[in-house]
Amino acid sequence: MDTHRVPLVRPSLGESEAEAAARVVRSGWVTQGPEVAAFEAEFARAVGAEHAVAVANCTVALELALRTLGVGPGDEVATVSHSFVATANAVVATGARPVFADVDDDTLGMDAARLELALTPRTRAILCVHQLGIPCDLEGILAVATRRGLPVVEDAACAIGSEVRWQGRWERIGRPHGRVACFSLHPRKVVTTGDGGVLTTSDAELAHRFRLLRQHAMTVPDTVRHHSDRVFFEAYLEPAHNYRLTDLQAAVGRPQLARLDAIIEERRALAAVYHEALARSSVLAPPRELPWARCNWQSYPARLRDGSGPGQVAVMQHLLDRGIASKRGVSNAHQEPAYREGRRWTCGPTPCGVGHAAGHCARLPRSERLRDTTLLLPLFHGMTADEQQAVLAAVAALEPGVRRSS
């Protein structure tokens, strides 16, 4: 049981989701079927994509996207270390090696100016991340990708409902602007099905390939076989896996997609309250939303101000003592035990060689600083005004001269 008075996130699931799940249970068809197909169509409409393909989780989606674009053993993928470890893990799962570029201070995503440093003769794709739902510099990244003839995969795990200003109009992340965008449906995300993932693309051939590979490369889906009035046998075209989403999960996601606009509006309103309050704080600074981006505020990353006094751990403990959950800033794969060994990753065609064995890299200073100076404050749709004021009261108690009583 969660003992925090204000959790970092609280999934907003109610009667509409319960009834949707019950509908599937009563139908007798609970694996991938009509609910998944409906969810895919509704997801595609929600983000403005031509095709959406649902899978078991976002890590699987990233791996499928990379594999289908031809990434394999001996290749390299330019990406960021400053992300949930699944981003790097998906590259490694294909047999390729991640090459890490540093990030931008405002977007927390790939710095297009630093991307060139991560490109090598072995680079087969670019994997950028819309970190915490904050759109990365797609225009700059795609300009580099176009010059180098490389496909771009967007790790949009957190970014459903986020938007970028694109060629004079606002467009949602997932249209997509690269070849493929990959979303997560984990409980911490804006739309959740318990777990799950979605790939979106404008390429019908890629979408067909995703649908094939998510189901053992089986030529005839079981839904088609089930409703057929003829006997026939399916074939399995190549070694593949079971990456399907279930109808139970898809049904739970559909009511949330229906109210996505309202969800985003509510989250942006909560973020605006934080923005105003933290602009006056001498301890925590609000994130900056660039003019060409609209964030869904999947998470709210506050930054420790320079010379503010208490460090990251002290601030988090202060909040925890007052019943407020928080989370350290986005992790860096190269600083995790799984990636401490430099042979599993690099930072460019000529690695800097500085501190790799100890989990440091001279070419990733922003990534390392952001991990240690950022913390996530509670923000979720359904958050009450009292809950948010409790967070802000705890933050205010960090100010110099304010009595810090538990």
DSSP string, 324-349: B--EESPPBGGGSGGG-SGGG-BSSS
Cis omega (within 30 of 0) on the bond before 98? Answer: no
Q: What residues contact residue 269 under an 8 Å CB cut-off, 6+ apart?
A: none
Task: Give kind and range of the element (H or E) at residue 379.
Answer: none
8 A C-beta contact, residue 198 and residue 185: yes
For 244, which DSSP code?
P
8 A C-beta contact, residue 189 and residue 157: yes
* Rounded CA separation 323/339 (Å): 34
Q: Which of 189, 294, 303, 371 is catalytic?
A: 189
Task: Give kind and range of the element (H or E) at residue 99.
Answer: strand 97-101
Long-range pairs for 261-264: beta carbons < 8 A, 24 or more residues apart: 261/161, 263/12, 263/161, 263/190, 263/191, 263/381, 264/161, 264/190, 264/296
Helices (H), 48-111: 58-68, 86-93
8 A C-beta contact, residue 17 and residue 255: yes
Angle at 270 between CA 267 and CA 273, to 5 degrees: 150
* Rounded CA separation 272/294 (Å): 12
Nearest Cα to Cα of residue 79 among 224, 44, 323, 71: 71
Please say if 327 is a catalytic residue: no
Buried b (16+ CB within 10 A) or exposed e, 276-293: ebbeebebbbbbebeeeb
* Rounded CA separation 134/334 (Å): 22
Nearest Cα to Cα of residue 43 among 244, 216, 254: 254
How far is the CA of 124 from the CAs of 65, 91, 164, 178, 222, in angstroms? 12, 11, 26, 14, 34
Among all residues, which ones are annotated catalytic? Answer: 189
